[in-house]
Structure 1
Amino acid sequence: MALPLPLPRSLRWRLLVATFVATAVAVLLAGWLLSGLFREHVTRQFVATLTTELDQVTARFELDANGRPLLDPARLSDPRWTRPYSGLYWQIDEMAGAAPRRGVLRSRSLWDTELRAPTDAPADGEVHVHEVAGPGGAELLLVERTVRMAPGRGAAWRLLVAADRRDSAAAVAEFNRLLAGSLAVLLGLLMVAATAQVAMGLAPLKALRRGLNAVREGRQQFLEGEFPQEVQPLVDDFNGVLQRNTEIVVRARTQAGNLAHAIKTPLAVMAQGAISAQQHPETLVALPAFVTDQVEVVRRHVNWHLARSRAAAAQGMPGVRAEVAPVAQALVRVMSRVHAERGLQFDIAVVEPGLAFAGEEQDLQEMLGNLIDNACKWARSAVHIAASRVPEAATPQLRLVVEDDGPGITVEQRKQALSRGVRLDEATPGSGLGLAIVHELAELYGGHVTLGSGRLGGLKAELLLPRTRSAMPSTTVANRLVDDVAVTNYHAQP
């Protein structure tokens, strides 16, 4: 089997080849149609002329007193009737009996030959048209008519008029030659116009390429200039990508600087502790615990900045999703073990099983885990967790609500609770960073967290986050392998 020809990689050549093929086919079809129409027109005119001559022969045909046919050639106007083999002929056949008598009368131009038309039976006065061979094998167009001198009775006479088709064939051939030359010139002009059109149409792509080279070489930061409305959306999207990459680079530099600044102090403290241990050997016993505490501080800062980087990178990224129900159930299992001695009751109400967060699952675990952990620290006996979509939002959003039946906090304390390092009760274990982490991660994803009074009498934390538009079938917790150690990583965040 023959393999299909590969298409050229050049867009210009693809357009030109497609245009040439389409134009050539259209021109050929037009030429075939025009040639056929002209040939048909010439044939109709030829038949009309022969019919006029047949009418003249019919008008001059008569019978004498004895019933013999008469036709005076001198009464026919065209001189070709009398010139032998002139190309214009007439003949009269008698149709009496089973065998017709051919050439009872005939024009002098036939000389010693006869016209032989196909045998048919036209009605009286009806004209039939045939193509026959004439003297010398010439191709003739023949028209015939059957007449009777007495309507309905008497002998029938078949009147034939024929003419050579060479002149009409020559006219058709000349027309076809002129038509072919004209269409060839037209095809050439159309291809020149198509080449110019393709060049003009692809010119913006050259400008786009020059702009890309300028961006790559650092001569400009974004694509500049005016482009056609078909190309402008591509330019805008590409500039958006460049803008986002610039923001990512700036954010990465800022986060790297923040991380370096954050771990500089613990490193300096550890260095000072090592020097102090060398100068005062009696403090060497406390050095491991001291170093462990500072390493924990460094690790918390590293994990926190990694979480921020992950959230910033996942924001708006297509295909990133995390189902709420499995994450919430896994977190409740962990919290029930962490706070097992308190006997807390957990209630999970996920309105839509396929509800999914448009972000990284680890970040969802971080935010929801901190809210549940904070509720467990203050709850007396019960913690309620609810998840639902926000129908009135302009963009797809989901709402996560975590409530406890603890003492709650005042309006002034709610604002302080979202600040980094603020602990409202020094007696309760923690670093004072849990709610601040939730607040900052939510803002990175374009959401926010609010604190208020719940139905259970304690604190109510409401978290709004972006939601995926399509819900996929939810995976049951029994079929998922959840690493509880990974889920509880929020304990190590700053």
Structure 2
Amino acid sequence: MNRGANRGGLHWSRSLRFRLLAVTVAGLTVAVVLAGLVLSGLFREHVQRQFEAALVQQLDQVTARLEFDAQGQPGIAAQALSDPRWLKPYSGLYWQVDAMAPDGRGRAGVLRSRSLWDTSLTLQVDALADGAVHVHEVAGPQGAPLLVLERTVRAEGTDAARWRLIVAADLQATQAATAQFTRVLALSLAALLVLLAAAAWAQVAVGLKPLQALQRGLQDVQQARTTRLQGAYPAEMQPLVDDFNAVLARNAEVVERARTQAGNLAHALKTPLSVLENAACAPAPRDGAALAASVREQVQVARRHIDWHLARSRVAASAHLPGQRTALEPVVGGLVRVMNKVHAGRGVDITVALPDAPLFFAGEAQDLQEMLGNLLDNACKWAQSTVRLQAQVLGGQPPQMVVSVEDDGPGIGAAQRAQAVERGVRLDETVPGTGLGLAIVQDLAALYGGRLDLEPADLGGLRVVLVLPAALETA
């Protein structure tokens, strides 16, 4: 399958740039359309109110010029009206007086303006209170749309006679102005939308530019041109870059550790292999016991080195895994029973002092057994009669567990303590061992972020202080 073709085919739907632009343009489009509708409606309503207000003034003028004779018949002197459009046929401004019967029906066009010429305005029957003004839209002369205002009046001294005054004006000019405004507004908003979309595209391009720099940096790391991400990144991306560089540093550290471990193991096995090779090449002794003892000793040394490096590798892989916890008391109890059996012939008394509250090691039980087992075994080998193990927890973040193992043996001088934790160094060849015990403990503790300290003991011998990360007790 062509991965490049597949990636290109899905590029538009999986592109962050496309998603940002699509959402931005969609939001801008909705906002511009709503703004256009609102502005157009407001302009139309404003023009309509202004037009209606002007027509109310015309209706007031017609009402003021309306007079009644002795018989109660209405009359309006055309010359008394100020607007010349009243006299021009089909000028677009009209007035009319209708006689209204008590049942609401009436006779249209009793009086009308000259601008209506030979036509009259026909309105539906409308129940009007005296003096109230109603507004309608009807078709006028030549089918032109008209805005109509009507009002009823009564002649003085008569209760039954009611007259409807009508004033109408052509809406075509108003509608044309509204349409022109809507067209100009639509073109303006469309141009604004294009400019905003271009600005959004520029914003997205500038905002995503650091991602391109990050991609180039990753390619440089992948192609081994650099070992970490270089350059300055925005504040929002810098934590990601720092974390990625930390991962790269961690991987480099693991690789270097593995390379060092392999070299150390190879170097450590050279001595026993050379001894075995020399023993094999030497003339066969008459008594094979010495050869067998030498072979067993070198095999034990080689196995000890291998176990040590395997333990380091295991701890290096699991030391920083979250959620690990091992109870201290069961591990110490098991080791004390083992040491009492192994060193039963020497009569060493092992005392343990643990706090009442349970202590937990933030790591694997096998690693804790490896470290404490080496310390107890080493203390029992050198002790004259007493070995003491104590433990406590130090507060802080993160919390730490301190385990001390001391004996009443000869102890170690201050100048020799640094040598005691070196691999393969044995300060006294008369005591069996490989010289790896304290070195193993120190390396394992370091992998967990702890440490190993050697101090003079109150019992007179050596006190080994092991500091390890502690795990909090769960509820």
CA distance 1:83–1:269, shift in 2 (3 Å): same
Q: Describe the superposition over 1:394-448 as per-residue Cα deviations: whole angstroms up to 9, x where unpaired.
A: x3022132456x5366684693695245667777665454333323322333322
Report the Cα distance in structure 2 between the residues aligned to 1:423 and 1:285, rounded to whole angstroms.
25
Q: Describe the superposition over 1:183-220 as per-residue Cα deviations: whole angstroms up to 9, x where unpaired.
A: 22222222222222222222222222222222333333
Amino acid at match of 1:273: A
Please name the residue that 1:443 is paired with.
446
* 3-state SS in 2 of match to 1:128: strand
Is 1:266 paired with 2:272?
yes
CA distance 1:430–1:321, shift in 2 (3 Å): farther
Amino acid at match of 1:322: Q
TM-score normalised to the size of structure 2? 0.82
* Aligned pair partner of 2:322 in 320, 323, 331: 320
CA drift at 1:162:
1.9
Please name the residue that 1:30 is paired with.
35
* Aligned pair partner of 2:263 in 257, 270, 274: 257
Q: Describe the superposition over 1:128-155 as per-residue Cα deviations: whole angstroms up to 9, x where unpaired.
A: 3223343455432222334456599775
* 3-state SS in 2 of match to 1:54: helix
Please name the residue that 1:419 is paired with.
421
Report the Cα distance in structure 1 between the residues aligned to 2:442 and 2:179, rounded to whole angstroms.
89
* 3-state SS in 2 of match to 1:339: helix
* Aligned pair partner of 2:121 in 104, 109, 114: 114
Please name the residue that 1:487 is paired with.
none
CA distance 1:190–1:425, shift in 2 (3 Å): same
CA distance 1:418–1:55, shift in 2 (3 Å): farther
* 3-state SS in 1 of match to 2:14: coil
CA drift at 1:334:
4.6
Please name the residue that 1:233 is paired with.
239
Comparing 169-178 with 328-337, greater Cα deviation is found at 328-337
* Aligned pair partner of 2:367 in 360, 363, 367: 363
Report the Cα distance in structure 2 between the residues aligned to 1:198 and 1:55, rounded to whole angstroms.
61
Quick one: percent identity of the two aligned structures? 51
Amino acid at match of 1:449: L
Comparing 174-183 with 5-14, greater Cα deviation is found at 5-14
Report the Cα distance in structure 2 between the residues aligned to 1:381 and 1:410, rounded to whole angstroms.
13
Please name the residue that 1:465 is paired with.
468
Once superposed, what is the RMSD of the aligned Cα atoms? 3.6
Please name the residue that 2:222 is paired with.
216
Report the Cα distance in structure 2 between the residues aligned to 1:152 and 1:260, rounded to whole angstroms.
131
TM-score normalised to the size of structure 1? 0.79
Contact kept in structure 1, 2:339 and 2:376, CA below 8 Å: no
* Aligned pair partner of 2:252 in 243, 246, 270: 246
Q: Describe the superposition over 1:339-363 as per-residue Cα deviations: whole angstroms up to 9, x where unpaired.
A: 245685656546356x451x45433
* 3-state SS in 1 of match to 2:203: helix
Please name the residue that 2:86 is paired with.
81
Amino acid at match of 1:250: E
Please name the residue that 1:398 is paired with.
400
Amino acid at match of 2:28: T
* Aligned pair partner of 2:57 in 28, 52, 58: 52
Please name the residue that 2:408 is paired with.
407
Report the Cα distance in structure 2 between the residues aligned to 1:463 and 1:151, rounded to whole angstroms.
121
Please name the residue that 1:98 is paired with.
103
Q: Report how many aligned residue pairs link the two structures.
A: 456
Contact kept in structure 2, 1:91 and 1:160, CA below 8 Å: yes
CA drift at 1:306:
2.8
Report the Cα distance in structure 2 between the residues aligned to 1:242 and 1:463, rounded to whole angstroms.
30
CA drift at 1:45:
1.6
* 3-state SS in 2 of match to 1:332: helix
Amino acid at match of 1:243: A
Please name the residue that 1:489 is paired with.
none
Report the Cα distance in structure 1 between the residues aligned to 2:281 and 2:20, rounded to whole angstroms.
77
Report the Cα distance in structure 2 between the residues aligned to 1:250 and 1:256, rounded to whole angstroms.
10
Amino acid at match of 1:67: G
Contact kept in structure 1, 2:339 and 2:377, CA below 8 Å: no
CA distance 1:367–1:280, shift in 2 (3 Å): closer
Please name the residue that 2:6 is paired with.
none
CA drift at 1:263:
0.8
Amino acid at match of 1:16: L
CA distance 1:60–1:459, shift in 2 (3 Å): farther
Contact kept in structure 2, 1:324 and 1:387, CA below 8 Å: no
CA distance 1:156–1:425, shift in 2 (3 Å): farther
CA distance 1:256–1:350, shift in 2 (3 Å): farther
Report the Cα distance in structure 1 between the residues aligned to 2:458 and 2:291, rounded to whole angstroms.
49
Please name the residue that 2:175 is paired with.
169
Report the Cα distance in structure 2 between the residues aligned to 1:379 and 1:51, rounded to whole angstroms.
122
